[in-house]
């Protein structure tokens, strides 16, 4: 047995990230989840899309979109959880102007919350009425002037509060 000093260890090698290889809808009791399957049969389950974004990086998101797109490119999703994932990822990667989400923007009012999931590069805008919009940071989306104004005002307020807190 050889004792190796800790500073000689490659810590990154111990923190291996397992790529996504598949996904499925998983049911436990009466709840449905997305089961994300990674190399080595490592799995994670998510019930809410934004929880998935909190734990994903960009590679995970792109790979999941690729798998979902491949599955539903020629057939339609049949289960609610399948449809939900398909719709959210399609809106994220291939936004279409006539999508009902973009048309419903006129009903989105303050207060808005605006988050950035920086590991996967997704912005999340939500309202108290539980309207959610997820957007890749580098992509253009068909946002109305009204919603963009609300987003900008909220961002300026948050930045102003942050600056004031830093000064204290």
User: In this structure, what token pair is assigned to residue 23?
Assistant: 């996904």
Cα Rg of the chain, angstroms? 20
Transcribe 69-117 into DSSP letters: HHHHSSS---SHHHHHHHHHHHHHHS--TTSHHHHGGGG--S-EEEEEE
Q: What is the pLDDT of residue 154?
A: 72
Q: What is the pLDDT of residue 63?
A: 97
**3-state class (DSSP) for residue 66:** helix
Q: What is the pLDDT of residue 48?
A: 94
**3-state class (DSSP) for residue 146:** helix
- The DSSP symbol for 131 reads -
Total Cβ atoms within 10 A of residue 161: 10
pLDDT in tens, 94-145: 988 888 887 777 666 666 788 899 999 999 988 777 778 899 999 988 888 8
Angle at 50 between CA 47 and CA 54, to 5 degrees: 110
- Is the alpha carbon torsion for 100, 101, 106, 107 positive or negative? positive
pLDDT in tens, 8-67: 555 555 456 789 999 999 999 999 999 999 999 899 999 999 999 999 999 999 999 999
pLDDT (average), residues 82-102: 90
Q: How far apart are CA 165 and CA 33, in angstroms?
A: 39
């Amino acid at each position: 047995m050889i004792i190796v000093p800790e500073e000689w260890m490659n810590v990154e090698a111990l923190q291996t990230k397992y790529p996504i290889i598949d996904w499925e809808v998983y049911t436990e009791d009466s709840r449905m989840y997305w089961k994300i399957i990674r190399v080595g049969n490592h799995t994670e389950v998510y019930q809410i899309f934004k929880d998935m974004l909190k734990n994903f990086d960009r590679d995970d998101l792109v790979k999941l979109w690729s798998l979902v797109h491949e599955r539903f490119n020629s057939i339609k999703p049949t289960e609610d959880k399948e449809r939900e994932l398909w719709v959210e990822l399609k809106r994220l990667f291939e936004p279409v102007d006539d999508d009902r989400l973009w048309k419903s923007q006129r009903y989105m009012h303050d207060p808005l919350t605006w988050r950035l999931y920086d590991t996967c590069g997704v912005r999340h805008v939500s309202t108290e009425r539980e309207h959610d919009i997820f957007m890749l940071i580098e992509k253009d989306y068909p946002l109305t002037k009204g919603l963009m104004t609300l987003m900008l005002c909220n961002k300026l307020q948050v930045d102003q509060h942050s600056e004031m807190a830093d000064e204290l």
